[in-house]
Amino acid sequence: MSNKVIYAIYNDDDVLMDAVKQTRAAHHHIEEIFTPFPVHGLDKAMGIAPTRLAICAFIYGVCGLAFATWMMNNIMIADWPQDIGGKPSFSYIENMPAFVPVMFEMTVFFAAHLMVLTFYMRSRLWPFKSAENPDVRTTDDHFLMEVAVHGDENEMISFFQNTGAVEVKVIEKH
Amino acid sequence: MYTFSSKLKTVAIFFMILGILGIGYGFLTAPKNTAEVEEILKKEAEEHGGHHTAAGHDAHAHPVKEAHTTETHDNHDAVAATEAKPEASMADSVHIDTISTTEDTAHAAISAEESHKNHAAVAAHEEHEAHAAHTKHVEHVLHQLQNKPWAAVYVAALFFMFISLGVLAFYAIQQVAQAGWSPVLFRVMQGITAYLPWGSVFVFILLALGAFHFHHLFVWMDPELLDPASPKFDKLVSNKSGYLNEYFWLLRAAIFIIGWNLYRHFSRKNCLAQDEATDNSFYKKNFKLSAAFLVFFIVTESIMSWDWIMSVDPHWYSTLFGWYVLMSFLVSGVTVIALTTLYLKSKGYLEYVNKSHIHDLAKFMFGFSIFWTYLWFSQFMLIWYANIPEEVTYFITRIEQYNLPFFGMLVLNFVFPILILINTDFKRLTWIIVMAGVVILAGHYVDFYVMIMPATVGDRWFIGFAEIGSVLFFLGLFILVVFTALTKSPLLAKRNPFIEESKHFHY
């Protein structure tokens, strides 16, 4: 089976959006779209499932809150309950207002950093990663849609030329 | 054009009648003289039963109370702060109820000193003093109970006026920020602010009644506190009398109220004129007017919160109090905008309001709720941490006597909204917004309740006929005025430069 894909290149995001809608209507499978900047509504037009990153962040935040609470309780109340400036150290709740700034910051810290790490991992981004750019112009002013070739190759090429592509290429992928 | 449904009108009038009955009942059942208070105290002592007989209770309570009354000159909050505590804190040294034991310790130290001072006095003329102390205590309770219906009306009147004031401030911000999403809601906001003239008249009347000594919500108005010859002379209050005196205070109130109402009047007038205009001159006028109003508003709001709320505790002061009050009613105002919009939308009157507008309002409800909590906590934590006696009494009275409302409102105003409104999908669901909105409004009523009540009725608080009645009365009036105002003009501004964008607003 051949691993041929079509690179349809556009130079306007409105044209791209229309092309995506037509491609979806024609039941061609869009492998990937490369754009130089976020195109509002592209994910919806492509039918990509919404991100669950926010849910992750909430859970990380709760972990941070729990960690801060455990830490402050362990240090300030359980391990060595000193009298520091008359602050009550008999139980956690009695001295809680003093711990709230720490609890808050920890919550934000965990939520923010773990969410960013999750984002990097899920989108496979790390230093020294080799770029997966099919065409250098897509980082500047061109939009590229990659579609797997199934069936008649020439028919597909003419289809994409009709969607307003400035360039349509067929590439053999390894 | 909106037509006021007769059902809603009937409900509003029913609420008002019910409210008047509740308020009337509150005033009629308030004790008129010390004899009635004696009765009440006797009954309470019997109900508490066990080791307390009426006489025993009195004798037991005297020494400490006597010390307080002479020392604090009828200052309600200070009396209330210490009155309830000393016996308890002496008897059971570990008091688990509250957050901090340092407060208790400080407390115990103070009361020990006081009772020490007191021993000499008691030894000198025990019987006579005891009797005088008891009379004083009875008088104190009488004042608290007589304040109660007034305070109930005052809290509700303030709360509803603040809602329309909060909406007015939010509306001005939207104008100045040239918000592209909100112009379809401007007429709804103008409808809600139609309550402002009514609400401010009620509040002003209540303030004036205080200044003319019909009620005693503001202790600093007692002329005896300023008289050095009087046994009630209060140096702290008399030092503040340059600012806290009835005439200047009423004059300030009048200026604030007139200023806010003028902005409301002209802003609405310009907005309606813009509908018929051929250019944008009225829009520009409104823009400038709103910017000027916001400057005026932030200054007057701050002073207003010292005058009308903080001054019920004239011995106490807090720097960020004005902001705290502002956030409390700004979030209530946004919530009321959301609820009113959802109601009108459900009746099919707001064609261009979509889920994205509601989503934006819900985000404001969420964000402002958290900002309110931030200010609440900043105020609480700074005072709790430093624990300076003159500041901390404010929170001691609240934690000891208002524990449930004081911490309960945190659940209503913070925990509930943050968990419910954090979800994007939830912010687009009508029933979630309505539920969260009702909880937020209830929470902020309790917030104002806890600001006013401890200084005026002390530990004699409960949510009874007077409180519920006042809320119902002002709620009924609010609905009546707001929805009548909504029938007066089209619900969509015609020639606002941002109206097209707003109609197609999509998030």
Is residue A148 located within the same domain as residue A118?
no
As a whole-number percent, the residues of chain B with pLDDT over 90 amount to 72
Min distance A71 CA to chain B CA atoms (Å): 20
**Residue B155 pLDDT > 90:** yes
Backbone angles phi, psi at A163, to 5 degrees: -80, 5
- B381/A90 CB distance under 8 A: no
- Which chain B residue's Cα is nearest to A92? B99
Does residue A71 lie within any of the structural domains? yes
What is residue A32's three-state secondary structure?
Answer: strand
What pLDDT score does B101 carry?
Answer: 42
Flag if B377 and A98 touch (Cβ within 8 Å). Answer: no
Tens digit of pLDDT for each residue in A121-149?
Answer: 999 999 999 988 899 999 999 999 999 88
For residues A155 and A100, membership in a common domain is answered with no
Tokens 């130089």, residue? A36
Q: What is the mean pLDDT of residues A91-100?
A: 95
Contact between B221 and B213 (Cβ < 8 Å): yes
Q: What average pLDDT is seen over chain A? A: 92
Q: Does A98 sit within 8 Å of B381, measured CB to CB?
A: yes
Do A65 and A97 lie in one domain? The reply is: yes
How many folded domains does chain A comprise? 2
Q: Are residues A113 and A62 in the same domain?
A: yes
- How does residue A174 score in pLDDT terms, banded at 50, 70 and 90? low
CB atoms within 10 A of CB B436: 25
pLDDT digits (tens, 9 = 90+) for B364-404: 999 999 999 999 999 999 999 999 998 999 999 999 999 99
Domain assignment present for residue A69? The answer is yes
Q: Which residue has the higher pLDDT, B87 or A53?
A: A53
Record: contact B99-A58, CB cut-off 8 A: no
**Minimal C-alpha gap between A77 and chain B (Å):** 14
A chain contacts of residue B385, beta-carbon cutoff 8 Å: 97-98
Q: Tell me whether residue A131 is in a domain.
A: no
d(CA B173, CA B293): 10
pLDDT band at B139 (very low <50, low <70, confident <90, very high): confident
Does residue B17 belong to the interface with chain A, where contact is any CB pair within 8 Å?
Answer: no
What is this model's ipTM? Answer: 0.90
- Candidates A90, A105, A108: best to mutate against B (most CBs of B within 10 A) is A90
- The pLDDT tens digits of the residues spanning B442-480 come to 999 999 999 999 999 988 898 989 999 999 999 999 999
> Could you give the C-alpha distances from B365 to B167, B344, B434, B438, in angstroms and in order?
12, 19, 11, 12
Do A116 and A154 belong together in one domain?
no
User: pLDDT per residue over B235-253, tens digit each?
Assistant: 999 999 999 999 999 999 9
In a domain, A24, yes or no: yes
Give the range among A167-171, B327-331, B443-447 with minimum mean pLDDT: A167-171
Q: Do B102 and A98 touch (CB under 8 A)?
A: no
Residue among A90, A93, A97 whose CB faces B384 most closely: A97
Mean pLDDT (chain B) is 86
Q: What is the pLDDT of residue B111?
A: 53
pLDDT at B331: 97
Distance from the A86 Cα atom to the nearest Cα atom in chain B, whole angstroms:
7
For residues B88-117, give the mean pLDDT: 46
The alpha-carbon gap from A45 to the nearest alpha carbon of chain B, in Å, equals 15
Residue range B204-218: mean pLDDT, rounded: 93
Report yes or no on A41 lying in a domain.
Answer: no
Q: State whether A57 and A96 are in the same domain.
A: yes
As a whole number, mean pLDDT of residues B210-218 equals: 92
B378 touches chain A (CB under 8 A): no
Residue with tokens 């089209």: B490
Inside any domain, residue A43: no
Which of A95, A103, A105, A107 is most worth mutating to test chain B (most B CB atoms within 10 A of its CB)? A95
Same domain for A67 and A98: yes
Torsion of CA B171, B175, B176, B182, to 10 degrees: 90
Residues A96 and A159 grouped into a single domain: no
Range of the domain at A20: 4-36+138-172
pLDDT over 90 at B410, yes or no: yes
∠ Cα B467 B472 B475 (to 5°) = 125
A107 and A148 part of one domain? no
d(CA B66, CA B133): 5
- The band of B47, judged by pLDDT with boundaries at 50, 70 and 90, is confident
CATH of the domain at A146: 3.30.70.260
Nearest-neighbour CA in chain A from B385: distance (Å): 7
Exposed/middle/buried for B295, CB within 10 Å: 0-12, 13-18, 19+?
exposed
**In this model, does residue B116 exceed pLDDT 90?**
no
Chain B residue closest in CA terms to A55: B423
A10: β partners: A143
The Cα-based distances of A111 to A65, A108, A118, B72 in angstroms read 10, 5, 10, 50
Q: CB A94 to CB B99 under 8 A?
A: yes
Judge whether residue B326 has pLDDT over 60: yes
Q: Mean pLDDT throughout A74-85?
A: 94
| Residue B53 contacts A, CB cutoff 8 Å | no
Residue A46 falls inside a structural domain: no
CA distance A148 to B240: 81
Q: How confident is the model at residue A93 (pLDDT cuts 50, 70, 90)?
A: very high
Are B377 and A58 within 8 A, CB to CB? no
**A119 and A92 in one domain?**
yes
* pLDDT one-digit tens code per residue, B343-355: 999 999 999 999 9
- Using CA atoms, how far apart are residues B56 and B85, in angstroms rounded to an integer? 17
Min Cα–Cα distance to chain B from A87, Å: 7
Asked if B384 has any chain A CB less than 8 Å from its own CB, the reply is yes
Percent of chain B with pLDDT over 70: 85
A27 falls within a domain: yes
User: In sequence order, which residues have a C-beta less than 8 Å from that of residue B231 and are 6 or more positions away?
Assistant: B70, B73
